[in-house]
Structure formats: C-alpha cells, structure tokens
Amino acid sequence: MFLKARALSVTTQNPPDLFSLLHHSPNAKHLRHLHAHLLRTFLYSNVVLSSKLVLAYSKQNHLFPTSLSVFWHMPYRNIFSWNIIIGEFSRAGFASKSIDLFLRMWRESCVRPDDFTLPLILRACSASREAKSGDLIHVLCLKLGFSSSLFVSSALVIMYVDMGKLLHARKLFDDMPVRDSVLYTAMFGGYVQQGEAMLGLAMFREMGYSGFALDSVVMVSLLMACGQLGALKHGKSVHGWCIRRCSCLGLNLGNAITDMYVKCSILDYAHTVFVNMSRRDVISWSSLILGYGLDGDVVMSFKLFDEMLKEGIEPNAVTFLGVLSACAHGGLVEKSWLYFRLMQKYKIVPELKHYASVADCMSRAGLLEEAEKFLEDMPVKPDEAVMGAVLSGCKVYGNVEVGERVARELIQLEPRKASYYVTLAGLYSAAGRFDEAESLRQWMKEKQISKVPGCSSI
C-alpha cells in the first residue's frame, strides 16, 4: 500500500521528479505503479521518461519481455531510446538480439546511430563472434564519419582483439591519436591470449613508457606471458608486485600466478599459492591438476581431483586432461578408461588431446593392438598427436606391424616430416629388416627429406 500511495502521490510532480523515482525504484511492483501513472497522465509520450522506464525494468531483471514490450509501445523513440534497448540486450548476453534491434533501427526508422550506439553494437558483434557483422559495422563507422571518435575507435580495437584479428586491431591502434590504458590493456591481453608473448611484452613496455598505471588486469596478462616464455624470474617479480600492491589476491590474479608457476614447472610454489587463495574455482583446480598430471605426479593429481569433487566443483575438459595425462605417465589403463567414461557424466565432449592421452596410456602399457583399434573407433579422425603416441609405443616395444601401419598414416598427413620416416626405419632395423630400413633412408635422401637438428632455448 505504501508503494502504491507513493506512486500515486507523484500526480502533480514534474518529469525530473518522476525521472528520479524511476531511477531509484526499489522493485518491479513499484515500477508498475509508476508505469500506470505515466499512462494515465499522458507523460508516457515523454520520450526521456518512457526510455527511462525501459531501462528501469531491465535493471529489475525484466528485460524480456517487459522492457522490450514497453519499448515497442513507446509513442516516440529517439536515439536515446534505441541506445538503451540495444545496450541492455548486449549487456544481458543477448548479443544476437542486440544486433537484430540495431538492424531494425537502421531499416525501419529515421533514427541514425551516434558514437554511443556504435560501441554498443560492436560489443555485441564481439560477444556473438559475428566477424562479418563486425566488419560491416566497421565500414558503416567509416561511412558515417566516426573514424575519429575515440569511443568508436576503441570499441573497434577491442572487437578485433576479441575476435583474434590482431593485425586489424594493431592498425587501428597505431592510427589513433589518443590511447588510454583500456586500449593498451586490451592489445596486451590480446597478444598474450594468441600466444604472441614477445609482442605482448613490447606492448607492455610501451604502456609503461606512456605513464599508465598498472592494475591487476595487466598483471594477469603479464603473468600469462611469463608462463608462456618460461620466464620464472620475471614471473616471481610480478608475483612480488602483486603481494606488495594488492591487499588480497583476487580469483583471476591467483589463478594467473598458479598457472604461471605450473607452466614453469615449479609446482610447490603453485600449490602454495593455490592453498592460500581465499576462493577457488574450476580453473584454479584444473590448472594444478593438469600441472601435476603432466609432471607425472599421479597420486597428487588424483588426490586433487577427488578433493575438487568433494567441494562440489564440476570438472571441465582441462581437468580431465590433467588426470588422463597422469594416467598416461603411470600406465594406468583402467583408470584412464574410468576418467574417459566419466566425461560423459559431466556432458563433456572429448577433444583430440583427450584421445591422445588415452592412446598414449595404452601404448605405454604395451597394448598397441588395442590402441590401434581405439584409433579406428574414434568418432573423429585422429591427428598427429594421437597417432604419434601409438607410434612412440611401437618404437619402445618393437611392434613393427602396428608401427608400420600407423607410420604410413602419419606420413600421409605430413609427407615432409622426417621423424616419422626415421622412426619407421628404426623399427625395421630393430626387427632385422635392414634392407627395408636402408631403402627407406635412401628414399628420404632422394626426396631431400632430412631431420631438423635439435636446439635448446637455454
């Protein structure tokens, strides 16, 4: 009753008062009373108030269908109205609907986008991974003369970074007369996420020279770069900076530090950071489980997996890759099948790297015929990693028959890769088939296929 009385008491109030009430409306019921008042007093035709009503419903989690219905029933709609509905759908995760609304505005109204509309729709294109739509909006930005707008240019850079089109993003970035910390952070993060750690570090240095302050988001990307390069010394320095500058390591920062130590094979440090994190998610657990799995610490990998399930956290594809890698290192075939089947329970579709781990486990245990049958029964065509695991097992156990068949499959995939020929020749020699081994080596010379000399980054 109080809310109803409060809404009804605004009959004599002017639009600014109603604007404030809409902005501070505590719940949907109160909004409905204000909505009814606007209809009764003909203030609904005030485009600012009706647009604010659309926004208020969205803030109360009534975007669809209430906000959208109010929007379509507005007597007048201007760019302010369109920006609100496009932006709210984009922020709520309905990127395709946001793009659809933008197209309807363009085709069915006389309203034209401004430099607030275009960043909203570019963000929607980025979220939906609609590369073609993003390119078209970029062209529209140029046609409408918004190429000099800082808001629009920044949104274009971030969209291309999110889509992995770093050359496009860098060209726009370099052409911008003014750049802020958000742009530098986006470019730096984009390079690192695409595995271009050195280019990312160059961007980081440029950011530092420009005098921008560093924050936890930049540190996450910097830790990822250190992990990719195996730069433990620099990673420790970043860790120290985080401890000195951050009162509490957040989830993302904690995960990044853990992952950096895992990639640098310093699992004791990674485990210490993991234990001291105030909150842990599936990424935290998976990073450590994968680290122990790849390192061959079977017991710890399985122990962490069990603890994660007890805490009610569902594993993801990376988690299972960790325990399957541990099984491969330990030659635990039955255990690997158990985890492989468990993926179905969590509705995780196995990727080629999961198949490679199972094949590697079977090959290390000497079950080479079974491993070959496993390759044949795969729902997807096995790649080099999967077949290479079986070939390695054939080399260890001297199984020429399976090794010959698998090697020929690999040679069809990569006819210029010398290591497969060398392995097959080695199998022939080990089995006493020296003529075939020599014939294969001679054929390699004729085709000028040679093994690339090994090198070390140390």
Residue 370 lies in a domain: no
Cβ atoms 127, 90 nearer than 8 A: yes
CB 301 within 8 A of CB 322: yes
Please report whether residue 161 resides in a domain.
no
**Whole-number Cα distances in Å, 374 to 127, 189, 395:** 38, 39, 18
Q: pLDDT tens, position by position, for the chain (458 residues)?
A: 433 444 434 444 556 688 888 888 888 898 999 999 888 888 888 999 999 999 999 999 999 889 999 999 999 999 999 999 999 999 999 999 999 999 999 999 999 999 999 999 999 999 998 889 999 999 999 999 998 898 999 999 999 999 999 999 999 999 998 899 999 999 999 999 999 999 999 999 999 999 998 889 999 999 999 999 999 999 999 999 999 887 778 899 999 999 999 999 999 999 999 999 999 999 999 999 999 999 999 999 999 999 999 999 999 999 999 999 999 999 899 999 999 999 999 999 999 999 999 999 999 999 999 999 999 999 989 999 999 999 999 999 999 999 999 999 998 888 888 888 898 899 989 888 888 889 888 888 887 877 666 555 45
Q: What's at 97, amino acid-wise?
A: K
Query: Do 184 and 210 contact (CB within 8 A), yes or no?
Result: yes
For residue 214, being part of any structural domain is answered with: yes
Asked whether residue 189 is assigned to any structural domain, the reply reads: yes
Angle (nearest 5°) at CA 399 between 395 and 400: 95
Domain-located, residue 270 = yes
Domain membership flag for residue 72: no
Q: How far is CA 414 from the centre of its chain?
A: 30
How many independent structural domains does the chain possess? 1
| Domain assignment present for 120 | no
Would you call 24 exposed, middle or buried from its count of C-beta atoms within 10 A (0-12, 13-18, 19+)? exposed
Alpha carbon distance 284, 159 (integer Å): 28
In a domain, 386, yes or no: no
For the record, the structure tokens of 60 come out as 């109360």
Residue 252's domain comprises: 179-276
Tokens of 84: 């609100």
Identify the H or E element spanning 327: helix 317-330
